[in-house]
Structure 1
Amino acid sequence: MPTKTYHIGVEATMDVIGGKWKTVILCHLRHHTMRTGELSRAIPQISQKMLTQQLRELEADHIIVRQVYKEVPPRVEYHLSAYGETLVQILHELCVWGEDNVDRRRDAGEDVRILTRDDVPD
């Protein structure tokens, strides 16, 4: 396998958690274990195909753990691995920055908001 070279550490980070959906998925999983359907409801803009692909990539990178329960019908849950837990502080800081950014934009007159859990139907 050829050597993978990065020019700066953030490139290596973004290689694992970059893209539109991975950080969103991880931010949800940093609070608790979730099933696929729960993630779909929490992130309504993501297609089932993309959600499955992103979960598989995060699992392959050992960031999340996929737990399959031998039940009928089978139950599958996802949670952060111990390695994934090392991202919690970074994810928290990204969320705080985003919330502050939304506040700043709203103060400047933009019609923008962040949904709360109460805004999302079960």
Structure 2
Amino acid sequence: MSVAATLALNERGVTALDPLSTLVSETAELGNGVILWPGTIAQVISGGRLEIGVGTVLFSGTTIVARDGSVTIGKGVEIGDEGDFTIKADAPEIAITIGDGTRLLGGGSLSAPTTRFMS
């Protein structure tokens, strides 16, 4: 997504605090009230699927990559509050679901055939 398109996310209710350092794929589905801190990546590649729920916050250093697999993040989730966090669904059989209200602090990563985190 271009910087202009990232800026346009604000018109859809998504806040990119620093559009110059934020990477969001055009096919990523972002809910109203999502906040993207500087240095976040929400990337969809090769038929992957990424859905980020209403009111979710991706803090600086958060990287989410849906390459062939799927990542579904619920409402009001906080990811990477204490620094870097990586989520990768890089094969068709990988489906990661993070439930509403979950907090994933910094310094972690997720990638598994089927992963569900519910708060």
Normalised by the length of structure 2, the TM-score is 0.22
Higher strand share: 2
Q: Please identify the structure whose Cα radius of gyration is greater.
A: 1
Higher helix share: 1
Normalised by the length of structure 1, the TM-score is 0.21
**Greater relative contact order, per chain length (Cα 8 Å cut-off, separation 6+):** 1
